[in-house]
Amino acid sequence: MSVYARPIARLVEELAKLPGIGPKTAQRLAFHIISGTREAAEDLAEAIVQAKEKTIYCSVCSNLTEADPCPICTSPGRDQGVICVVEEPKDVIAIDRTGFKGLYHVLHGAISPIDGIGPGDIRVKELLQRLQDDTVQEIILGTDPNVEGEATAMYLARLIKPLGIKVTRMAHGMPVGSDLEYVDEVTLAKALEGRREL
């Protein structure tokens, strides 16, 4: 038997389904919403519904957008010859904050045989279609530095290199400001592999 009223218990349960939200955080969020005004709760509900209804995938890069094609793909200030391939839309935001001025392609996942995700389950076919355009000169593989991301990057490199397009991988290494003694072995090994001449 729940100690919450049924509507609050349901709200806690739904909030706990969000990634990174555990039971305690879901409870805290639920009570924050309940203790606020009705207008604030309606604004939140409306924002969620509108985001779900009005957000689509860009027909070019597969990023989330309100307009198709998205503002990045249609921007005249972007380098049309460079495409950074990432796993998720949130990765576009992270890379774009660095000042990167190329285009993107969002795979919506990574190859993971253990989870039953193969190349046909992510947007590889759409990427290859984009590469038929002679303007693309470089593909930057910006997949995550984990087993699935590395497998995806290697698979894409094998498909793209024969097309005569330069394929690069984002460097992996130590975070700026960290101490060597606190960096794990895998990160240190990647940093040594990616060393460059000064």
* 85 within some domain: yes
Q: Kindly state whether residues 84 and 160 are assigned to the same domain.
A: yes
Q: Kindly state whether residues 91 and 130 are assigned to the same domain.
A: yes
Q: Kindly state whether residues 128 and 98 are assigned to the same domain.
A: yes
Q: Is 99 left (phi over 0), alpha (psi -120 to 50) or beta?
A: left
- CA atoms of 165 and 105, how far apart (whole Å): 15
Helix, strand, coil percentages, rounded to 5, for the chain: 45, 10, 40
| 1: pLDDT strictly greater than 50 | no
**Which residues are bridge partners to 141 per DSSP?**
85, 169
* 28 within some domain: yes
Q: Average model confidence (pLDDT) for the chain?
A: 90
Q: Kindly state whether residues 100 and 156 are assigned to the same domain.
A: yes
Confidence band for 31, pLDDT divided at 50, 70 and 90: very high
Confidence band for 180, pLDDT divided at 50, 70 and 90: low
What percentage of the chain reaches a pLDDT higher than 90? 76
Q: Considering only CA atoms, which of 124, 151, 118 is closest in space to residue 139?
A: 124
Q: Kindly state whether residues 86 and 22 are assigned to the same domain.
A: no
- CA atoms of 125 and 120, how far apart (whole Å): 8
Kind and range of the H or E element at 56? strand 56-57
- CA atoms of 143 and 25, how far apart (whole Å): 29
Confidence band for 106, pLDDT divided at 50, 70 and 90: very high
* Residue 119 DSSP class: G
Q: Quick one: pLDDT at residue 186?
A: 74
Q: Kindly state whether residues 163 and 105 are assigned to the same domain.
A: yes
User: Per-residue pLDDT averaged across 66-91, rounded?
Assistant: 95
Q: Kindly state whether residues 104 and 164 are assigned to the same domain.
A: yes
Q: Kindly state whether residues 34 and 81 are assigned to the same domain.
A: no
Kind and range of the H or E element at 110? none
CATH number, position 43: 1.10.8.420
* Residue 50 burial (CB count, 10 A): 11
| 121: pLDDT strictly greater than 70 | yes
Confidence band for 146, pLDDT divided at 50, 70 and 90: confident
* Residue 57 DSSP class: E
- CA atoms of 198 and 195, how far apart (whole Å): 9
CATH number, position 96: 3.40.1360.10
Q: Quick one: pLDDT at residue 29?
A: 96
- CA atoms of 146 and 152, how far apart (whole Å): 10
* 64 within some domain: no
CB 190 within 8 A of CB 145: yes
Q: Which domain holds residue 133?
A: 76-169
Question: How many domains, in total, are found in the chain?
Answer: 2
* 147 within some domain: yes
- Residues 34-71: tens digit of each pLDDT: 999 999 999 999 999 999 999 999 999 999 999 999 99
Phi and psi at residue 6, in whole multiples of 5°?
-55, -45
